[in-house]
Homo-oligomer: A and B are copies of this chain.
């Protein structure tokens, strides 16, 4: 696994340790029934004497401890909730050994890149912090051979006003694209989100409040109006489906169209949501850094 980060400005202090620290936040905790992995990034290019050069930063993390035997039994079966069939339909072949591009392990690349983006944003006083709102009884669900989903809430502090383009590159649209692109993510809402559908205009509109001076009584917009940042915190929530790999018996199609019964064993996360928190932060950081770095001059 790895990533190439292009467009990072020169002169940014970045160390392998900082990247490794973010990768560690993505690592499994036994409390959530997650797999044990250690991820050590190797920086191949783009950093010289501790600072970025402006050239692409290539980072690889070599896979360890991969037991492809776990996957061989399932190589002709399209596991429910996985991209096995869609991948096969698209490419005509796939690497069934896991750990590939349609695997959750792919998020490692996102987190490594996000670590660099966050470092850049910190120079602009922008801080991103996400958290899991989920509290199912993981032990119980695991003992049933099942899995759980959850919701992640994200808040960005220190946003300047005026970021985002008014039609084709709206800030919320680009964040939605980035967050929905995380494997298990099935929904996103900004500010009041779906509950805004049940509010009246007089309730949902953010009116002046607090101490005045540009403060507002609410942030139902989630810090974005007309696709452009207002300067309030950016707020959004993302929904994650339960891990599709479960040991509980399931029906599935095999490659010949027959229905078979399967049990998926191996070291699968009962709930990936706590591990996805840093991935949500990473995708948010990458979008914001992109807007700041490649910002179109908007007035003369």
Contact = CB atoms under 8 A, between A and B. Distances in A.
A43 to B, nearest CB: 13
A186 B294 CA distance: 25
A105 to B, nearest CB: 12
A80 B83 CA distance: 43
A136 B221 CA distance: 21
A282 to B, nearest CB: 14
Contacts of A299: 9-11, 54, 90-93
A230 interface: yes
A298 to B, nearest CB: 5
Contacts of A55: 100-101, 166
Contacts of A191: 186
A192 B298 contact: no
A100 B48 CA distance: 11
A74 interface: no
Looking at chain A, what size class is its interface with the partner chain?
Answer: 35 or more
A187 B186 contact: no
B193 A190 contact: no
Nearest to A151: B197
A298 B90 contact: yes
A185 to B, nearest CB: 8
Nearest to A1: B45
Contacts of A98: none
A208 B9 contact: no
A199 interface: yes
A44 B192 CA distance: 37
Nearest to A213: B257
Given A80-B205, A186-B196, A170 B181 contact: yes
Nearest to A3: B4
Contact of A146 (B4, B202, B242, B295): B202
Interface-centre pick from A208, A229, A241 (highest chain B CB count, 10 A): A241
A155 interface: no
A120 B204 contact: no
Given A2-B58, A208-B251, A250-B205, A192 B101 contact: no
Contact of A226 (B12, B87, B149, B251): B87
A235 to B, nearest CB: 11
B242 A298 contact: no
Interface string A1-29: 01010110111100000000000000000
B189 A11 contact: no
Given A123-B300, A299-B9, A207 B101 contact: no
Given A194-B239, A208-B253, A294-B297, 11 more contacts: A4-B4, A11-B91, A173-B177, A174-B177, A176-B188, A186-B194, A188-B188, A199-B241, A201-B248, A207-B252, A220-B241
